[in-house]
């Protein structure tokens, strides 16, 4: 067997996700992502089950493995009880570990997720926090969002939120002690190392592209990966 398949075969999600796929295509037929993207879970499982190292590497470097929304509809309909979504998770993990994710547009967007969602969790305790969402990055929020942010301290309490307040309630301030504990969990479980891996390979790709990596959202490379979306390439026509 090859190196990539050997590594995949040790991932518990791979072990539980595939068992003698018969290549019937039911997963592709039921997949919501396949309706929008050029995406076939059936083809991915066929390549992986066939231990095709060249094809596996190509998937690790492609946009394809990032199209899956992890809804697990595939699991509910597979006659062999396979779970292509779990196999996709294992492939994504290997792609990041190997640094292959920076070779695709959707893969490079993992840096945006790390900096916008991952760092928000560690800094505030929230995956998405009102102070971090601006209309420059999310124009679809519209001008009413700017007004809401500018008047958050007056408006949010009327909606039942405890914005930046002590004690319980939506948008409450998470105590520093809890944030420290959360960070410790990330460190012990490998989450921080995972973030470092994403940053390391992203910095390498940024240098290759001649872009400044910076920190947070204020960098050339972040702007590039966050805003690039080759719709014609990704979607079904």
The predicted-structure confidence for 118-139, as pLDDT tens digits, reads as follows 999 999 999 999 999 999 999 9
Residue 140 is given by DSSP the state G
Q: Does 212 lie in the same domain as 118?
A: yes
How far apart are the C-alpha atoms of 64 and 208, rounded to whole Å?
Answer: 22
Q: Does 212 lie in the same domain as 110?
A: yes
> Binning pLDDT at 50, 70 and 90, where does residue 1 land?
low
DSSP per residue over 107-122, as a string? HHTHHHHIIIIIHHHH
Tell me if 204 sits within 8 A of 102, measured CB to CB: yes
Expressed as residue numbers, the domain containing 64 is 3-98
Of the three residues 98, 122, 139, the one that is the final residue of a domain is: 98
Count the domains in the chain.
Answer: 2
CA atoms within 13 A on the CB side of 34: 18
> Binning pLDDT at 50, 70 and 90, where does residue 97 land?
very high
Q: Does 94 lie in the same domain as 37?
A: yes
Q: What is the mean pLDDT of the chain?
A: 95
Of the three residues 98, 123, 158, the one that is the final residue of a domain is: 98
The gap from C-alpha 228 to its chain's centroid, in whole angstroms, comes to 16
Of the three residues 98, 122, 156, the one that is the final residue of a domain is: 98
* 58-76 pLDDT per residue, tens: 999 999 999 999 999 999 9
Q: Does 163 lie in the same domain as 57?
A: no
Per-residue pLDDT, 2: 72
CA distances in angstroms from 102 to 24, 32, 98, 112, listed in the order given? 32, 25, 10, 12
Decide if pLDDT at 232 tops 80.
no
Q: Does 113 lie in the same domain as 72?
A: no
How far apart are the C-alpha atoms of 230 and 101, rounded to whole Å?
Answer: 17
Q: Does 225 lie in the same domain as 119?
A: yes
């Amino acid at each position: 067997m090859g190196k990539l398949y050997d590594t995949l075969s040790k991932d518990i999600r791979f072990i539980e996700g595939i068992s003698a796929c018969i290549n019937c295509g039911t997963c592709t037929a039921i997949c919501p992502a396949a309706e929008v993207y050029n995406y076939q879970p059936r083809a991915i499982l066929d390549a992986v089950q066939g231990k095709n190292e060249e094809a596996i590497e190509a998937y690790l470097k492609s946009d394809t493995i990032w199209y899956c929304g992890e809804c697990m509809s595939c699991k509910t309909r597979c006659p062999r009880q396979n779970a292509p979504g779990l196999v996709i998770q294992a492939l994504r993990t290997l792609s990041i570990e190997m640094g292959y994710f920076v070779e695709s547009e959707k893969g490079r967007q993992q840096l945006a997720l790390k900096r916008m969602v991952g760092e928000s969790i560690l800094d505030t305790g929230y995956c998405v926090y009102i102070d971090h969402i601006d209309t420059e990055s999310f124009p679809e929020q519209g001008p009413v969002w700017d007004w809401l942010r500018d008047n958050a301290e007056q408006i949010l309490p009327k909606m039942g939120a405890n914005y930046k307040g002590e004690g319980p309630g939506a948008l409450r301030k998470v105590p520093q002690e809890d944030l420290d504990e959360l960070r410790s969990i990330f460190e012990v479980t490998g989450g921080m190392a995972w973030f470092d891996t994403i940053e390391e390979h992203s910095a390498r790709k940024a240098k290759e592209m001649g872009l400044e990596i910076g920190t947070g959202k204020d960098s050339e490379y972040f702007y590039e990966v966050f805003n690039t979306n080759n719709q014609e390439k990704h979607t079904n026509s």
